Every structure is written in C-alpha cells, then in structure tokens.
Structure 1
Amino acid sequence: MMPFIDLATQRARLQDKLDTIISKIVAEGRYVLGPEVTELEQRLAEFGQADHALTCANGTDALALPLMAWELQKGDAVFVPSFTFASTAEVVPLQGATPVFVDIDPDTYCMCPKSLAAAIEWTKTQTDLKPRVVIAVDLFGQPADYPAISEICKAEGLKLIADSAQGFGCTLNGKHPAAWADITTISFYPAKPLGCYGDGGAVVMRDAELAGLIRSLRNHGEGEARYAYERIGLNSRLDTLQAGILLAKLEIFEEEIVGRNAAADAYAEGFGDVVKTPTVIDGGVSVWAQYTIEVDDREGFRAKLAEAGVPTAIYYPIPIHLQAPYAGFPVAPGGLPVTEAAAHRVVSLPMDGYLGGERQQAVISAVRTAVA
C-alpha cells in the first residue's frame, strides 16, 4: 500500500543536511535549548510574520502556555470548535476554565463566526461564565476566517489564539494568522506539514511581554537567574536535535507548500465532479495538512480504496463535544449540526509535498472507481 504521507522522499532529499546537523549537535553536547533552538525561533518568527517565537515540547503545551500566561481560572469561558483534535479543547479544563463548543463552516470546516457570536452572547446572558478566549483552528491546513473572528474578539474584549498546529504556513490575503491573533500555536508532530522526528511545538506572537511570560513558563517558571522561580511553570523545552531537524526542513518548506497546492489542484480536477472536495476560504492559501473529501457511504468507500492499495484516514469521527469527558460542557445555541453531519461523511486521502505522477493518479482513479 502506498504511504499516506511520504516522509521517506523528504528524508532522502535532506539526508546529507540532516546527518551533518545531527552530528554537530551530538558532538557539541548542548542537547536542550542549544543555539539551534534560538536560530529556529528567529526563523519561525520571520516566516510567520511575527515579532517573537518560542519553541516548546509539543503542540498541546503551545496551547496551554498562553492560557497559563493569561491566568485562566474557574468561571472563565473559552470558545473552541468541536471538530478538531482533542488538544484544542483539553487544555481549557486543565486550566480550570470551561470550553464552550462552537460549530464550523460547512465548506472550510473551520470555526463559524456566526456560531461563535451566538455562543458568546448566550454565555454572557444565560450563564455565570465570563468569556475570555477564542481558539480558532486552522483545520486541515487552511486559515480560519480571522478577519471576522478577530472583529468579534475585539468587540467583546477576548483574546484570540490561532491553533495552527495543522496550518503553520497558511495565509489569508497574504498575511499569516499572527496578523490577527494574539498568539499562534504550532505543532511539529512528524505528520504535520512542518514536522520534526519526535514531539515539538512553538508559539509566535507580536507581544514582547507575553513572550517573556511564556519564556519563563516553558522552563519551570524560571526568572532571570537560574534556579530563581517567579511563577509556577512547565518543563516544556524543545530538544536541540529537533530544532536542527526543523531548520533543515524549514529551508524547503515553502517549496513543499507549493507542491501540496499543486497536488490539491490535481485532486480537485481529477474527481471534483464526483465527490465534495475542499473549499479554501477566499484569499486563503492552505498548507494541506490533510486533503479531506465527503462521501455518502464512507466505510464502503474506504474499503474499495483499501482494495486498490490507497490508504485513507478519518479526521475526526467523533466530535469532541460528544466524547464522554466533554459531554457536560456547553455548546453554542442550536447545537453543532454542521459538525455532527461532517463527522459522518469526511475522509482524508494521501497528501504531502511530493504527491504527484503515478501515485496521485492511482488515488484519483481509485476515488472515481469507488463512487461510480
């Protein structure tokens, strides 16, 4: 069966650079927060059109750190989509706050601004919760509707996090999410568009004071002096080896984004007349973390593709608000009908920066055959 994500081709392309930088880091012995980490942070800030970037241990910590910096607590409400990975929601109750689940747009699968506005108004008038933060997700690699969402946040005095775990590198009207969000979070999990060879994460932002707080929080709350602690923090530092790997990958990242978009265009042309293909927001450029379509008989469709040697995945089969640990948390007025409908129909196909030629044609042929 073909790979769902072709990491081997990328690794072969970078092998000499990876061997050199890994050998250098091992020889120098600065395995945590070494000079490559500092260099990576500078490069990430520049790439993401932000003033500051700080790495951390994983994408989940990247979400938790700003909530810690803003001192969220019991009685605070954080508005999140339910059609997402668990990390987006789980960091909220871990801070003692309450997630309020919001519906998604039926075409982009990102947070619906109308559902968000309704959820905020309902929370203000019908509960004792205090609205504090919105976490919008760049789902499947494309930007959320940040102009609309940020306008709502500004009007309500709320902080805005761009959960760009799947979407770092995406843009909207030529701007990265940092142009609108108070903070953008990144995951470097290996399957992400910009992935390392283990766990890793980062945050990018414009606010120097917030950056200073997060720098302390990621390292046990340490202050200016070593072993002098100013606050309670986490152990959330990035390994230098992972930073070195990411530096090598960042050099070809823009080229890979171009490749992913070419593959997405070929998919849309190849089977867009027989299945519902993704819609990218006007002015948006996706990094295509996943290429997700909708079909009627999903299990039958997946079985036929498997017979043809084409792997598939489902992101996400059970919305977070329907999972047992989250069932008691509030949802937007009217429920989340778009989220629940999409969860039964979506299926993701192979996608990476090297998808093309016979491999992609095999996917296109399998899709067309499966729905014939």
Structure 2
Amino acid sequence: MQFRDLKTQYEQHKFLIDSAIQEVLDSAHFIGGKQVKELEQQLAEYVGVKHCISCANGTDALSLVLMAWDVKEGDAVFVPDFTFFSTGEVVSFNGATPVFVDVDETTFNIDPNKLKQSIEKVKLEGNLMPKVVIPVDLFGLPANYEEIEKIAKQYNLLVLEDGAQGFGGSINGKMACSFGDAATTSFFPAKPLGCYGDGGAIFTNDDRTAELLNSYKVHGKGINKYDNVRIGVNSRLDTIQAAVLQVKLKAFREYELDGVNKAYELYNQRLSNIVKTPFIPDGYYSSFAQYTIKLDSKEQRDSLQAKLKENEIPSMIYYIKPMHCQQAFSDLEFEEKDFEVTNKLCDTVLSLPMHPYLKEEEIEKVCDVIIGFFNN
C-alpha cells in the first residue's frame, strides 16, 4: 500500500505523459517552451484569476510575492504555527519577522480570533509594522478567508494565501488560490497536483504585482533577461514539468479530486465513531492533500502508528514540531501559552494513506487495523 501512489497515477497516464515529455524533447525548448505559457493560462482559468505566474517551486512562489510587496526588515508577517517550515522561512529570508499564530483545533487552519490578538499585540509593542498574513490551506482545506480578509482590511494587511496543499479546494464554489491579494501553490510530486520534480505557481488579479513577479523570477529583468532593472532570482518552471502538469491537470479536474473525496467519505463511514476524523465546514470542499485523524495522546498516536506499520500500512505525522519550536527561529521570543492547540496537535495527529487511486479494500484494511487497535 502506498501513502501517495504516484506509480499507479503514472501507469494510468503513461502514454499521454510520455508523449508530452517527448514533444518537449523533440522541440528542445527546455526553458520557456510553449507548454509553460499554456499551463499558466489553464491554471488561471481553473482557479478563476487574471494572472498565473509559474516558478521553480512553492517556496519561491511565497518568497517572490513578498519581494513584489517589498516586505523587509521591520515588517511583521503573521503565519500559522502548525504548518510546514517554508511558510515562516520565506518571511525571515526576506528580512521580515514571522509572528506565529495558533490554529483552530477542528480545521487545523489559522485561528482568526488569535490572529486578531496577535496583530493587536504587535501593534501595542510597537517594534514591528504589521504587513502581511499568510493563511495556509492545511491538508487541502481552505482557511477561513471570510474572517481573515475582514481582519486584514481592518488592520490594512495584505493576504497571501499559501495554497501549497489546497489546490482544488473551494469555499462555496470559489476556488482555493483565488483568495486574498495573491496566492501560491506547490507542484511538489506529492501535492494534490504534482509534477515530476519541483514546481510552483502564483495567482493574482493585480496587474502590477504580476508584472513585478515576472521580473523578479528572471533575474529582475526589464524588457528582456539582459535588461536587469532590479535584483531578482532565477526561478522558472521547466518546460518538461509544465508538459507533465498539463496532462495531470486534466485528470485532476476530471476525476482525481472526486477520487480523494470519495476516499474521505469511505474513511469517515468506518472511523467517525472511533477517532476524530477531518472536519469540513459547510460550504467548504477539500482537495485532501492529507487525511489526518486526531488521537487522545502522543502515546496513543505513536502506538497506533506502530500497529499500522506492523500491518504494512504507511502513515505520516504532520507536523512533529511546531514552527515556534524550530531551532531556526530560536532568536524570536514566544510564550508557550499562546500555542496550546498547535502543541497538542503535534502530539496527536496522524495522517493515513490518501490518494485518488486508493482502493476500497485498502481503505477497509486501514480501518480494520484502527478499529482492532481500539477494541483490544
């Protein structure tokens, strides 16, 4: 059993993927080939925004937006404490200060009430200028953008949606990666829409932001790459990756997104009375980058993971360590009482196998082992 079955996915689309790659090889346009622009147009249309700017990876996508917004030393950027390191890393990389915010215990996403408290605290201290909030669509579920955008407007903050795990999700029909002032996603292979290497994209309706992003990602180019009007980086999506993504986007839209949600329903039918299963608010739709359950304690979680391993069932813990406990942020000052939910989640969450090609009998096996664990 695979945690995220990329082999089966490739076998399903082998002819189309091989043909798409071969077309790039035949053209020899490995950087900036037509497939890159075509993919950007397809992604923008799917998400429902004016501009899609592809880049080398999801981390660069976040960093590029902060560059375009002139986020720098003295600025405060609010980031959920329960997420992958890169969301906070890019803030420090651009010279600003990440301010970690606890999350909602049911959705795992940034808690709007605690966000407001954190902004007020930063303003009261007067050392930093509140500039940006980066909500994360954790495990595929969009954050509470209705409340987040209200708060951002109240405090004049920019909103950068980190949709690395959320691509394909939605709120009342509005697609993930269309919220806030700009949004990003990752095409890391294990993501809901993944390529065969690294890749990322940025989404925005703002013409000026798009113009800056297209400059920053190619060495700060002006009219062309030899006309350099600002200091930028080298962050382009390879043509081969774009070609692969074109094939996979079609499958994602036609049935893969439905497939992971069917798996979610099957898991819930068996497990909802056994463990705390994922909570999806009314009107929300998740792309299920992960199917994550909660246990009562670290001991129980670790014992269950060991039992699953005994039965050759892979599982993962996202995330073992809170952001505020990462050594890289040890120079920042925190109060542990501000992160009660995140600290608890890091000790009690466990992610089960989840992908569009998961067989019903495989889900039954996982559930049988979990139910058996609690019945012994």
Common fold: TM-score over 0.5: yes
| 1:318-357 equivalent positions in 2, closer than 5 A | 318-331=321-334, 334-357=337-360
Distance 1:278 1:20 in 2: 38
Distance 1:44 1:151 in 2: 27
Distance 1:265 1:122 in 2: 41
Distance 1:330 1:136 in 2: 21
Q: Alpha-carbon deviations, 1:60-92, whole Å to 9, x = none?
A: 000000100111111100000111001000000
| 1:71-150 equivalent positions in 2, closer than 5 A | 71-150=70-149
| 1:146-185 equivalent positions in 2, closer than 5 A | 146-185=145-184
Q: CA deviation at 1:356?
A: 2.6
Percent pairwise identity: 45
Q: What is the aligned partner in structure 2 of residue 272 from structure 1?
A: 272
TM score, norm. by length of structure 1: 0.98
Task: Give the letter for the 2:2 counterpart.
Answer: P
Task: Give the letter for the 1:292 counterpart.
Answer: T
Distance 2:275 2:225 in 1: 58
Count of residue correspondences: 371
TM-aligned CA distance change 1:94 to 1:267, over 3 Å: same
Q: Alpha-carbon deviations, 1:2-43, whole Å to 9, x = none?
A: 111111221111101011111110010000121000000001
Q: What is the aligned partner in structure 1 of residue 60 from structure 2?
A: 61
Note if contact 2:220-2:232 (Cα within 8 Å) is conserved in structure 1.
yes
Note if contact 1:53-1:203 (Cα within 8 Å) is conserved in structure 2.
yes
Distance 2:185 2:14 in 1: 24
Bigger Cα displacement from structure 2, 157-166 vs 291-300:
291-300
Q: Secondary structure at the match of 1:55?
A: strand
Q: What is the aligned partner in structure 1 of residue 309 from structure 2?
A: 306
Q: Alpha-carbon deviations, 1:96-152, whole Å to 9, x = none?
A: 100000010000000000000000000001231000000000000010000000110
Note if contact 1:115-1:332 (Cα within 8 Å) is conserved in structure 2.
no
Runs (4+) of structure 1 moved beyond 2 Å?
177-180, 327-334
Q: What is the aligned partner in structure 2 of residue 252 from structure 1?
A: 251
Q: What is the Cα-based RMSD across aligned positions, in Å?
A: 1.2
Q: What is the aligned partner in structure 2 of residue 368 from structure 1?
A: 371
Q: Alpha-carbon deviations, 1:193-226, whole Å to 9, x = none?
A: 1000000000011111100100000001011134
**Matching of residue 195 in structure 1 with residue 198 in structure 2:** no
Q: Alpha-carbon deviations, 1:168-198, whole Å to 9, x = none?
A: 1110011024443111101000000100000
TM score, norm. by length of structure 2: 0.97
Q: What is the aligned partner in structure 2 of residue 283 from structure 1?
A: 283
Unaligned runs of 5+ in 2: none
Q: 1:358 aligns with which of 332, 356, 361?
A: 361
Note if contact 2:166-2:289 (Cα within 8 Å) is conserved in structure 1.
yes
Q: Secondary structure at the match of 1:9?
A: helix
Task: Give the letter for the 2:362 counterpart.
Answer: R
Bigger Cα displacement from structure 2, 235-244 vs 8-17:
8-17
Distance 1:180 1:301 in 2: 37
Q: What is the aligned partner in structure 2 of residue 5 from structure 1?
A: 4
Note if contact 1:159-1:182 (Cα within 8 Å) is conserved in structure 2.
yes
Q: CA deviation at 1:331?
A: 4.8
Distance 1:16 1:187 in 2: 25
Distance 1:23 1:31 in 2: 11
Bigger Cα displacement from structure 2, 169-178 vs 339-348:
169-178
Q: What is the aligned partner in structure 1 of residue 229 from structure 2?
A: 230
Bigger Cα displacement from structure 2, 352-361 vs 39-48:
352-361
Q: Alpha-carbon deviations, 1:315-365, whole Å to 9, x = none?
A: 001011011111333558951110111110000000001113211111111
Note if contact 1:138-1:166 (Cα within 8 Å) is conserved in structure 2.
yes
Note if contact 2:75-2:131 (Cα within 8 Å) is conserved in structure 1.
yes
Task: Give the letter for the 1:252 counterpart.
Answer: A
Distance 1:180 1:241 in 2: 29
